[in-house]
Amino acid sequence: MRKNFFIFGIALLIITFAIYLLFDIGLIFMAVLVVLLLVGYANSVQHKHAILRNFPVLGYFRYLFEMIAPEIQQYFIERNTDGKPFSRSQRSLAYQRSKNIDATTPFGTQLDINQSCYEGIKHSIFPATVNEELPRVLVGGPDCKQPYSASLLNISAMSFGSLSENAIVALNKGAQKGNFYHNTGEGGLTQFHQQGGDVTWQIGTGYFGCRNAEGGFDAEKFEQKANLPEVKMIEIKLSQGAKPGHGGVLPATKNTEEIAKIRGVEPHTTILSPPGHSAFSDTQGLITFIAELRRLSNGKPIGFKLCIGKTTEFEAICEAMVAQNCYPDFITVDGAEGGTGAAPLEFSDGVGMPYEPALIFVNKTLVFYGIRDKIRVICSGKIISGYSILKAVALGADMCNSARGFMFSLGCIQALRCNTNTCPTGVATQDKMLMKGLVVSDKSERVFHFHRNTLHAANELLAAAGKSSFADVDINIFMRGDEFTHLADLYFPDNLKSVTRY
């Protein structure tokens, strides 16, 4: 192709030159041809890109289509039930609820519900009355001096740095209006989180916001911020579902001077938080650290967040709680399907336990050790609808956190560019020009509406199941398609002679 490019290009240039000499036209076209031939020559002699070397100039079209492939997929190919990690239907639901417009759908489900993987709620023909009051959960164990009444749905951990300042401000203002909390993420408590909304301050392995010169935990800095009135709870991040066993990642392109100053690091460098904590190194140390944070915060709710990996390690934590008679006020269970701004693909795809079996395991383990009543369990991971909230509660959660659901309410279009600093909606970028597209006054209202309408949908589903309280919800209100296998056997006995009939 390289040879043909130059043969046809030079031939066309000669013809154009002849036309110009005869008719005095085609000068601009001839100039364009000269530029293309020069670019093609440069392509053919460079050694980095095989496509451009073999297909001079034309190879750029490959990179163009590769660049816009996600948009082509999303706008022209993807069906309503397609799309990862969230389908078009799920995204549309979040957009409609955040805009406070009709979120109904016509004609019927587009899902194939005649499959063994189908899940649904066992509704009651005698439904309960829908509760118009949004549900709340009191967080605070026996050692907590300042218990907190939290909403059933809250904003999950997303740092300033991963998200833009406009996004953080809009989330916090929405949380203030809706009376629910906003988790800071491990990037630390910043002025953008202090817009009037309740805050859960997350302490990660980098100790941003309470970090000493060596990168370790600074008790004095922690005490100062932990006692701010807007800080309602404190969460120790042990691991994150999207990258368990790996520290947080903030790409260098997003690490601005302002963010570096807040975090106490060098600007314009990739920030890699350590995989583990330096303040403790075992289960006993974790429990001691919980007690220390509770003392420094004057008795505010203290908890930890983790993605379940080795189940024996969580059992060891429970044993340490009992042995030391010290318990966290809450445990946030993050599923392996959880979101992130940046993570190695191997960690996102191949490490950690999904939230469903993790919730079941955590709940049953706490019951086994006789401490379930002392600790609230929070679920984090792909919570985006009233149905997902009810399912999480049925599996053992007391409350739910959502990150990407609230990102959709801010206008996120799932462009999958969170780690490139080129988020087109201004949500996950530090580019000032892109950030201006996110208008705080409008998006904070959408955050408020998404929260309220999603919880109202959860209340409606609860009533449809014949329940009056989320405390009455368990896994028995759900059904799976594989429960109907024997029913199918009864309908088609002649075709299933090898199957025992009941």
| Residue 498 clears pLDDT 70, i.e. is over it | no
pTM of the model: 0.85
| Residue at 204: amino acid letter | G
- Provide the 3-class DSSP secondary structure of residue 138: strand
pLDDT in tens, 327-349: 999 999 998 887 787 777 788 77
The pLDDT, as a whole number, for residue 490 is 58
State the alpha helices, DSSP H only, in 297-354: 311-324, 345-350
pLDDT in tens, 303-328: 999 999 999 999 999 999 999 999 99
pLDDT tier, 502 (very low <50, low <70, confident <90, very high otherwise): very low
23 Cβ neighbours under 8 A, 6+ residues apart: none
Least confident of 136-145, 390-399, 417-426: 417-426
Tokens of 472: 């009455």
Mean pLDDT of the chain: 88
Q: Which helix (H) or strand (E) holds 334?
A: strand 330-334
The 8 Å CB, 24+ separation contacts for 383-387 are 383/153, 383/156, 384/86, 384/90, 384/93, 384/94, 384/408, 384/454, 385/90, 385/93, 385/454, 385/457, 386/454, 386/455, 386/456, 386/457, 386/458, 386/459, 386/460, 386/461, 387/121, 387/457, 387/458, 387/461
| Residue at 316: amino acid letter | A
**Can you tell me the distance from the alpha carbon of 333 to that of 306, in angstroms, rounded to the nearest whole number?**
6
Q: Indicate the pairing of strand 302-306 with strand 198-203.
A: unpaired
For the ranges 223-237, 334-348, 425-439, the maximum mean pLDDT occurs at 223-237
Q: Select from 436, 384, 430, 438 the least CA-distant residue to 411.
A: 438
424 Cβ neighbours under 8 A, 6+ residues apart: 413, 415, 417, 434, 437
Mean pLDDT for 62-85 is 75
The pLDDT, as a whole number, for residue 491 is 56
| Residue 181 clears pLDDT 50, i.e. is over it | yes
Percent of all residues in the chain with a pLDDT value above 90, rounded to a whole number: 54
Cα–Cα distances in Å, from 149 out to 138, 447, 468? Answer: 4, 20, 19
The pLDDT, as a whole number, for residue 492 is 55
Backbone angles phi, psi at 260, to 5 degrees: -65, -40
| Residue at 46: amino acid letter | Q
Mean pLDDT for 254-260 is 87
| Residue 488 clears pLDDT 70, i.e. is over it | no
| Residue 248 clears pLDDT 60, i.e. is over it | yes
The pLDDT, as a whole number, for residue 16 is 80
| Residue 356 clears pLDDT 70, i.e. is over it | yes
The pLDDT, as a whole number, for residue 447 is 97
The pLDDT, as a whole number, for residue 291 is 97
The C-alpha angle 103, 462, 113, rounded to 5 degrees, equals: 65
**Can you tell me the distance from the alpha carbon of 487 to that of 192, in angstroms, rounded to the nearest whole number?**
56
Domains along the chain? 2-67 (no CATH), 136-469 (3.20.20.70)
| Residue 31 clears pLDDT 90, i.e. is over it | no
* DSSP assignment letter at 102: -
Tokens of 275: 């995989």
The pLDDT, as a whole number, for residue 250 is 83
